[in-house]
Structure formats: C-alpha cells, structure tokens
Amino acid sequence: MERTATEQVEAVGSGSSAACQCTLDPEHILARVGEWVALARDHLHSRAVGDGEVTGVYERREDVRARLEALIQAEQECCSFLEFALDEQGDHIRVTVAYPPGAESILALVVPELGE
C-alpha cells in the first residue's frame, strides 16, 4: 500500500534516530518532497538502493543538473548527516546519497521510487 506524502513525512520523524533528524518543519518537508517528486516524475530514469546508499539516475540536461544541485544544497542544510555525490556519465546524471543507520525513512523522500 502506497503512503501519502504526509504519511512519509510523519515516518521521517518517527523512524529516524535523533542524529538523523531533518531540521525542516513538516510544512517545508512536504514542499521539499514535492520538488524531489516532480523532478523524479519528469527526469528520473532509475533508482537503486545499496548498502548505506541510494542512487538516482536522471536525464542529463543543464536544467536538471541545476535543479539537482539546488536540491542537494538545500538538503545539506537541513539533513547534514546525508552525503551527496553528483556526477555525469554519458546521457545521465547520477546522484548517490550515502546515509548512516537510522536515516532509511528519509531516502524515499530524497530519491523517490519511480511511479510515486
């Protein structure tokens, strides 16, 4: 059963360890989630979850890169426990997010699954 964005935001607060808390209030988290979901809906080609990281592969375009860079910068301000790497490979932009134990609930918000 798919969870709504509000349910996902609530899960972030309840399922994360104290060291892995986003500092945004729920209203701003919903807005940020909306930005990630819109970007994923329009430009995400694939998503892979590995041990301690999640990778999203996006369409390689300057406007997509600019949006990703802005979102990554914003995430680093409120979720400093996440580590981001962005690189271009062929026709794609790869964003890898490394996370510590306890931050799993945040990943679906930062790199949404396809179809959400």
Domain region containing 73? 5-13+21-110
Decide which of 106 and 22 is more confident. 22
Element (H, E) at 84: strand 83-89
pLDDT at 8 over 80: no
Structurally, how many domains does the chain consist of? 1
Half-sphere exposure of 72 (CA within 13 A, CB side): 17
Is 80 a domain residue?
A: yes
| Residue 77 pLDDT | 92
Element (H, E) at 58: strand 53-59
How many beta carbons lie within 10 A of that of residue 60, not counting itself? 16
Q: Supply the CATH number for residue 33's domain.
A: 3.30.1360
Is 62 a domain residue?
A: yes
Is 48 a domain residue?
A: yes
Is 115 a domain residue?
A: no
Is 81 a domain residue?
A: yes
Taking phi first (over 0 means left), then psi (-120 to 50 degrees means alpha), and beta for anything else, what does residue 74 get? alpha
Strands 83-89 and 53-59: unpaired
Name the DSSP class of 101.
T
Q: Where are the alpha helices (DSSP H) in the chain?
A: 5-15, 26-43, 62-78, 104-110
Is 101 a domain residue?
A: yes
pLDDT at 116 over 50: no
* Tens-place pLDDT, residues 43-101: 999 999 888 899 999 999 999 999 999 999 999 999 889 999 999 999 999 999 998 88
Whole-number percent of the chain with pLDDT over 90: 52
d(CA 110, CA 71): 9
| Residue 61 pLDDT | 97
